[in-house]
Amino acid sequence: MKQLTKAEEEIMQILWELKQANVASIIDSMPNPKPAYNTVSTIVRILESKGFVDHKQKGKGYIYFPVLEKETYSNQSMKQLMNNYFNGSFQSMVSFFMKKNDMSSDELESIMKEINKNEKS
């Protein structure tokens, strides 16, 4: 799966939230300073060429919608992060985040419960 640039991911986050939108609606959902219409339009077309977004025609314009679910992209991104920076080790990744984020034992216990729950299902 192709990775998204920061700008592409920002637009995907908006499309995942809105479910579908035209370029003007995407821009309205962005923080100030808002990018130019042509910039957002170009990024949306790049997302479409990468297979993340599709469109349908509405009047003279287009309505864009995500093709890839956020969860699917998130899972793939986390796997790539784990493989690239932690040699594919989930334990190393969790250990890193524990040390860098001062994770409490309660938070770790909550994570372990979630892991155990997923293993049983």
Task: Determine the pLDDT at residue 98.
Answer: 79
- As a whole number, mean pLDDT of residues 19-38 equals 97
Predicted structure pTM score:
0.76
Count CA atoms within 13 Å of residue 47 on its CB side. 29
Chosen CATH of 6-66 out of 3.40.50.720, 2.60.40.1180, 3.40.630.30, 1.10.10.10 = 1.10.10.10
Count CA atoms within 13 Å of residue 119 on its CB side. 6
- As a whole number, mean pLDDT of residues 38-59 equals 97
Helix (H) or strand (E) holding 34: none
Q: What is the mean pLDDT of the chain?
A: 90
pLDDT in tens, 88-102: 888 888 888 778 877
| Helical spans, DSSP H, in the chain | 6-18, 23-28, 37-50, 70-85, 90-100, 105-120
For the chain, domain boundaries: 6-66, 70-120
Task: Compute the distance between CA of residue 31 and CA of residue 12 in angstroms, rounded to an integer.
Answer: 14
Q: Enter the tokens of residue 21.
A: 């939108």
Residues 8/46, Cβ–Cβ less than 8 Å: yes
Q: Which residue has the higher pLDDT, 23 or 111?
A: 23
